[in-house]
Chain A
Amino acid sequence: MIRKWRFNLVLVVVMGSLMAATAFGSSLPKSTGFVNDFANVMDSRSRAEVQLIAQALREDQGVELAVVTMPTVSPYVPKDYAVTLFNEWGIGGPEDSGLLILLVMDERQVEVEVGYGLEGVLPDGKVGAILDQVMVPYLGANDYGRGLSQGAQAFRGELIGESFLKSTRAGETADWVRTFIIFLAIAIFISLRSRRFPPGGPGGNSRYPRRMGGGFGGTTRPRSGGGFGGFGGGRSGGGGAGRKF
């Protein structure tokens, strides 16, 4: 167990920056909603159950839950794949309140990835306990749908009473672009003055760059209303736990 754990760690580090989202980019699937049963191992009833739980979580708590099953994630380590998928899809709202449950069928491995915002409510130890007590018994008996829906229900139980609905994250602005434009404007202004054109003279105004429009507004995160309109741009940093089943 330790050997495997350390090997994973080494792999993560060795791949380092090469392993960034770009390397994964082409091979990552597109999200189909809260339930992404790519390995086709869930029955329709548990899919519907997970769907309902995820909808309630988003509406009541502002938490986004994604359940993903994959036949394989080779050549990647399940945990690395979970981290990359989580951040690529942006599971969780502006408070990074996202939760990803990933089932990797060929390795019989379940990984729960917890967004930054949920790390306080769902510490790794608690996630591990839910895996051991609720999910792994079903998963080990090949009842994947039940394992996932029971797990989703257990996580929802932990999140009852929490709310991540309110705060919004400020957009980033490209300051250096602004600085550059302002300096250019000053340079043009001064050079025009040195040619003794009266300021505001005929045709003069048209040379002054106008106020810059909203082009540098930065990142506005998509927030969806009722149905599934994509995830909210949440981030995670490797929190959570994993188990063999």
Chain B
Amino acid sequence: MKTGLIVIGVILLIIFAFVGMGVSRYNHLIQLETSVDASWAQVENQLQRRVDLIPNLVNTVRGYADHEQEIFTEVANARSRLLAANTPEEQIVANQGLEGSLGRLLAISESYPQLKADGSFIRLQDELAGTENRIAVERMRYNESVQKWNASILQFPTVLIASSFGKTARPFFQATPQAQDVPRVEF
């Protein structure tokens, strides 16, 4: 009788220890997931910031190089594609397109000395370069948190909790492939 109770007690203890462990793992997962979401929100902030800069930039360039219609249209299209993108995956792809067209816009600007000396163009270029740096920093922080998240949902025993709550791996924000190419300058 007495040993039976002790056995039940021990079993209960083990069950509760497991439940406790499970809950703490779960909470840890939620914390990691929140940090992935939060760092992606930061990336989005900076992408948005760049998107907001583009109309000003295009207008300034237009003031000196009005006939470069092709590139203005291209930038505008790339910009609306990024604005229309919803998931991180879509945004990452759309962002690559925008980076390519912006690079070409700036490459074209290089051949207009008066534009390059324009005060507001210099300021916009600083803002744009600063935004690129911010995106790079936030992208690095996002990738760090994704790495932690992806690693932890694959580990045992967290993988059991992660899979039963339908938690899946998140995409890394990779470097833009065409950013490595020298921008094409066409006249």
Contacts and interface: CB of A to CB of B under 8 A. Distances in A.
B129 A241 contact: yes
A194 B14 CA distance: 13
A49 interface: no
Contact of A10 (B15, B124, B180): B180
Interface string A1-22: 1110110011011101101100
Interface in B58-84: none
Contact of B9 (A1, A126, A194): A194
A2 B105 CA distance: 10
A190 interface: yes
A176 B31 CA distance: 9
B23 A2 contact: no
Contacts of B154: none
B157 to A, nearest CB: 14
Interface stretch (A37-45, A147-155, A179-187): A179-187
A4 B19 CA distance: 55
A175 B27 contact: yes
B174 A13 contact: yes
Given A17-B147, A123-B127, A194 B5 contact: yes
A164 to B, nearest CB: 20
B8 A184 contact: no
A196 B176 CA distance: 66
Interface residues of A, number: 47
Q: Which of B123, B143, B182 has the most CB of A within 10 A?
A: B123
A237 B23 CA distance: 34
Given A194-B12, A238-B136, A183 B20 contact: yes
Contacts of B143: 16-17
A12 B138 CA distance: 11
A125 interface: yes
A118 B24 CA distance: 38
B13 A191 contact: yes
Contacts of B13: 187-188, 190-191
Highest count of chain B CB atoms <10 Å: which of A20, A183, A192: A183
A83 B126 contact: no
B134 interface: yes
Contact of A125 (B10, B31, B127, B180): B127
Interface string B140-177: 10011001000000000000000000000000001110
B54 interface: no
A146 interface: no
A156 B109 CA distance: 33
Interface of B: 5-6, 8-10, 12-13, 15-17, 19-21, 23-24, 27-28, 31, 42, 46, 103, 106-107, 110, 119, 122-127, 129-140, 143-144, 147, 174-176, 179-180, 182-183
25 contacts: A5-B132, A10-B175, A16-B143, A17-B140, A79-B133, A124-B127, A124-B130, A127-B130, A129-B119, A129-B122, A132-B122, A179-B20, A179-B27, A187-B15, A190-B12, A191-B10, A192-B9, A194-B9, A195-B9, A237-B134, A237-B137, A238-B133, A238-B138, A239-B134, A242-B129
